[in-house]
């Protein structure tokens, strides 16, 4: 049964939290994680790239010179692909990069991502994240008090208030999410993952259904 230690606001251990083995004790399947990350990054692409083909560029409506007798190669339009300013052959056109992935596979990937963090010792659980004031310095001091370095960190809280969001906004290495919004890519990208106790139990309940 996977276990994680629980610390308080000062970084002192207050106990351990036993997690369900069927949720966070699953096999870490790398191909499944790769598929989930690839899908998420592909879905972020706008797909608005576009180039003009020969029929879309302006000009070139008449033949530049007669077919025979000039000594030059035959040409039909100055907007053909071999001309400067001509159309682009086989250029990109707007498209969607979205990839399908079964809901069951997505949930399994989330379980595996959190399980990988637990196995690597990169997941920290705190009782509750409280700030004396909604300031960036206060949040940075709180993170340092937990014994964490100022490196890429994913903070998963049960409720994302305006004060916490404003405090984390100016920390480029900090990402704050709720359990329902944190993704597989975010779990794997950040070497440090910090959960509120209630947030981890909420995620466990959601993934056990």
Give 123-178 pLDDT, tens digit per residue. Answer: 999 988 888 888 999 899 888 888 888 889 999 999 888 888 888 998 999 999 99
Give 92-108 pLDDT, tens digit per residue. Answer: 999 999 999 999 999 99
- Measured over all CA atoms, what is the biggest interatomic distance in the chain, rounded to whole angstroms? 93
C-alpha closest to that of 113 among 190, 60, 23, 187: 187
pLDDT band of 111, cuts 50, 70, 90: very high
Residue 204 has pLDDT above 80, yes or no: yes
C-alpha closest to that of 200 among 77, 76, 56, 16: 16
> What are the angstrom distances between the C-alpha of 207 and each of 111, 121, 184?
7, 21, 13
Residue 19 has pLDDT above 80, yes or no: yes
Give 183-202 pLDDT, tens digit per residue. Answer: 999 999 999 999 999 999 99
Give 46-90 pLDDT, tens digit per residue. Answer: 999 999 999 899 988 899 999 999 999 999 999 999 999 999 999
Q: How many residues does the chain have?
A: 209
Give 31-55 pLDDT, tens digit per residue. Answer: 999 999 999 999 999 999 999 999 8
Residue 29 has pLDDT above 90, yes or no: yes
Q: Are strands 153-156 and 174-177 parallel, antiparallel or unpaired?
A: parallel
Cα–Cα distance for residue pair 101/192, rounded to 1 Å = 27
pTM above 0.85, yes or no: no
pLDDT of residue 30: 95
pLDDT of residue 3: 85
pLDDT of residue 25: 87
pLDDT of residue 177: 94
pLDDT band of 2, cuts 50, 70, 90: confident
């Amino acid at each position: 049964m996977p276990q994680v230690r629980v610390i308080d606001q000062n970084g002192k251990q207050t106990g351990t939290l036993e997690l369900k083995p069927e949720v966070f004790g699953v096999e870490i399947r790398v191909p499944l994680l790769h598929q989930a990350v690839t899908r998420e990054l592909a879905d972020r692409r706008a797909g608005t790239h576009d180039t003009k083909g020969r029929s879309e560029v302006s000009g070139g409506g008449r033949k530049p010179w007669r077919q025979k007798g000039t000594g030059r190669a035959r040409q039909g339009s100055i907007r053909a692909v071999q001309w400067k300013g001509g159309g682009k052959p086989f250029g990109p056109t707007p498209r969607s990069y979205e990839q399908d992935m079964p809901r069951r596979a997505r949930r399994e990937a989330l379980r595996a991502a959190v399980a990988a963090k637990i196995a690597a010792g990169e997941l920290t659980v705190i009782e509750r994240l409280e700030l004396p004031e909604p300031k960036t310095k206060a949040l940075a001091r709180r993170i340092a008090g937990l014994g964490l370095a100022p490196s890429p960190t994913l903070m998963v809280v049960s409720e994302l208030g305006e004060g916490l969001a404003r405090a984390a906004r100016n920390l480029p290495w900090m990402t704050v999410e709720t359990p329902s919004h944190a993704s597989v890519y975010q779990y794997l990208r950040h070497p440090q993952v910090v959960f509120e106790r209630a947030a981890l139990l909420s995620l466990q309940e959601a993934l056990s259904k």
